[in-house]
Chains A and B, each alone.
Chain A
Amino acid sequence: MSAVVFARHAMTPAERLRDAGWVAFVGLILGIPLVGLTTVDVGGRLGVETRFGLLVAAVAAVFAGRLLLRWSIDQARNRKLARDQASTATAADRAHGAQKVVTVLGWVALGASIALPIFYSDNRYVVDTATTVLIYVMLGWGLNVVVGLAGLLDLGYVAFYAVGAYSYALLSTQFGWSFWEALPVSGALAATFGILLGYPILRLRGDYLAIVTLGFGEIIRIILVNWTEFSGGPNGISSIPRPSFFGLEFTRSAPEGSQTFAGFFGLDFSPMHRLIFLYYLILVLALLTHAFVSRLRKLPVGRAWEALREDEIACKAMGMNTTNIKLSAFAIGAMLGGFAGVFFAARQGFISPESFVFTESAIILAIVVLGGMGSQMGVVLAATLLVLIPEFGRNFAEYRMLLFGLAMVLIMVWKPGGLLAHREPTLRLNPLGKAASNKEAA
């Protein structure tokens, strides 16, 4: 059986049928207790009922699904073979073409994200979800510095998100700081925490680093849960002030001596104004993050991060101070996470430790890995997918996380290096057009 199920060669139709039959058989055995039998309440007692109709349908679905899967795998393999034989273009040329497509897609995505609230100006759900996507894009870009560029596996990234969110929440509720005053301070605070985390783990790599960062994330969360006088404990912090539009509040009526946003622009008050403002705010923050990280990547510090990911020992042999390089990666990644946290707190108006659990770290890491380590556009794609899949999955109720997991597995099977795994060099000796013409001449 295993020989058929795990066959590496392309299958004949008969083989495919047999393979699907075996898989359906396994499905049947598993399905009898899982699907075929169900418990019902019979007058206060527990009774068992059979659902063989459903079971047959499930097994049939498994059979058909397996058949389709094998068929599409074979198709894909044949296509790839044909392409490899036919193509005379080098890998570099193909990568260059792909890079062009990605650039164009990036501009399209930017245009779409600017236009989105105009077309959905009265759809709260769409604007809210798009805002969530952008928060994850920003977090992904922040973590991309640490994991994607510097290659330091960080499973506790949510801690910096929490530091940013709680800094803003406390600074605004306790000291009356505005959003714009608190933003840089909270970012700096998160960066400080990044360095604090960075110091003890300078010598660690890989799995060991992951474990310690995981622990750090939990420490921050547990402190937030237990230090009630400081953070409000599990109750969190509520009525966090919302950011204003250059001093104009998004409220129905303004306090004495100031104006509302709607009143100033002569619009009818609508709660959507604030949502759209928040959307554009995170869009601007995310774009600034992108510009910042993309520029850093082309600077010595960015190249040093990538070199560190590639080979730490070679870095030392080149005279690079790996301590500083690691700390700068942690600090900048943490700062960007902190900024996202400030925005999160300002948008929600309420935060509690429940928003900063390990699952969040895992999702942000998944965004970076699925996107293709170090790829900025990949993060956008992966963040969009990972936020939207559970949203679409709402119709499937309790199966939505199953769907989510399945989608992740499929992406990794289809694209093991991430959605956009191509790495664009930070500088070139020969500009691309010239290189191509040289090749033709030769």
Chain B
Amino acid sequence: MSKTPTSTLLSVRNLTMRFGGLTAIDDLSLEVPAGRITGIIGPNGAGKTTLFNCLTGFYKPTTGTLRLAHPSHGEMRLEALPSHRVARDAQVVRTFQNIRLFPKMTVLENLIVAQHNVLQRASKFSIAGLFSLPGYRQAEKNAIERAAMWLERLKLTHLADHAAGDLPYGIQRRIEIARALCVDPVLLCLDEPAAGLNPRESAELNELLLYLCGELGIAILLIEHDMSVVMNVSDHIGVISYGRKIAEGTPEQVKNDPQVIKAYLGEDEEEGEAAA
């Protein structure tokens, strides 16, 4: 899997996030290349989701910078943006570890809501929308077409008019990804997209991620515990433990890194005693 090197899309520098006395992320630096899949792994409580929350504006980092080299807007500082602008202007879009769909709305509506900003602009303070002017009608039609396209790609078309909350877990995961794609992301942050999926669904997820990255050039930042996903699709993996980056490299390098093995399996008992 040798790919030509690409430019850096996101560079995380010396990121620290403290909650009172607890340091969730400690001086973390990380580079996310454009058009690649970057995996983030680490034991539970390592600070992976906190990293996402900092990235997407839900938390304001205590210190550190998050620079995004946006392909059309130039350099953007994510730490200075409120969460809705991170998604709208910087086009860094995330999914959630515990799925956050709009459960009573249909799958299609979920995907249309994701295109809110485009449609809201076309509806001209709802006035063009109220009178159903041609400009708005066209925008709505485009939005539905776009949603239908993603539904088709993610094999969800037959479920379009079902309430999202009534569908099985694995499908809800896919809907959440489809919804994030409707926001037109430059960087897609997926928080444990394979959690709760069966092996067949995980394999499908792998395929999807490779397609998004390979064909569409969307950079993906992936938090995942399912090694069959992370190791197979990631170009590059960063390992976090207790808020610090303990290793980084290709899947092969990370797999054999003693630090990583230690973080996951704990220290060997005899060695531990010897150290003490």
Contacts and interface: CB of A to CB of B under 8 A. Distances in A.
A303 B129 contact: no
B84 A322 contact: yes
Contacts of B162: 92
B126 interface: yes
Contacts of B86: 319
Interface string A67-92: 00000000000000000000000001
Contacts of A318: 87, 93, 113-114, 116, 179, 183
Contacts of A429: 108, 144, 147-148, 151, 157, 160-161
Interface of A: 92, 292, 295-296, 299-301, 303-304, 306-307, 310-311, 313-322, 423, 425-430, 435
A301 B120 contact: yes
Contacts of A320: 84, 88, 113, 116-117
22 contacts: A292-B130, A296-B126, A304-B116, A306-B105, A310-B102, A311-B101, A314-B96, A317-B94, A317-B96, A318-B179, A319-B88, A319-B117, A320-B117, A321-B88, A322-B84, A425-B105, A425-B161, A427-B144, A428-B106, A428-B108, A429-B144, A429-B151
Interface string B79-109: 0000111111100011110001111111011
Nearest to A92: B162
Nearest to B147: A429
A306 B102 contact: yes
A306 B116 CA distance: 12
Contact of B102 (A314, A427, A430): A314
B51 to A, nearest CB: 15
Q: Which 10 A-B pairs have the closest CB atoms?
A: A319-B87, A319-B88, A310-B102, A429-B160, A314-B100, A300-B119, A299-B129, A316-B83, A300-B120, A307-B113
A124 B85 CA distance: 57
Given A296-B130, A317-B93, A317-B94, A427 B108 contact: yes
Contacts of B96: 313-314, 317
Contacts of A311: 100-103
A428 B112 CA distance: 11
B103 A425 contact: no
The residue in B85, B126, B144 that gathers the most chain A C-beta atoms within 10 A of its C-beta is B126
B123 interface: yes
B241 interface: no
B59 interface: no
Contacts, number: 121
Contacts of B157: 429
Interface residues of B, number: 46
A315 B83 CA distance: 10
A320 B58 CA distance: 13
Contacts of B16: none
Nearest to A303: B113
A300 B115 CA distance: 9
Contacts of A428: 106, 108, 160-161
Contact of A317 (B56, B119, B126, B130): B56
A318 B184 CA distance: 10
Contacts of B83: 316-317
A307 B119 CA distance: 15
A307 B88 CA distance: 16
Nearest to A313: B100
Nearest to B56: A317
Contacts of A303: 105, 109, 112-113, 116
A430 to B, nearest CB: 6
B50 to A, nearest CB: 15
A150 to B, nearest CB: 13
A300 B111 CA distance: 12
Nearest to A332: B126
A304 B113 contact: yes
Interface string B144-184: 10011001000001001111000000000000000110010
Given A311-B103, A319-B88, A429-B157, 9 more contacts: A295-B130, A299-B123, A300-B119, A303-B109, A303-B113, A310-B101, A317-B93, A317-B95, A428-B161
B130 A299 contact: yes
B84 A321 contact: yes
Nearest to B94: A317
A428 B151 CA distance: 13
B120 A310 contact: no
A299 B126 contact: yes
B94 to A, nearest CB: 5
Contacts of A427: 108-109, 112, 144
Contacts of B101: 310-311, 314
Given A299-B129, A307-B105, A428-B108, A319 B85 contact: yes
Contacts of A313: 58, 96, 100
Contacts of B108: 425, 427-429
Contact of B161 (A299, A307, A322, A430): A430
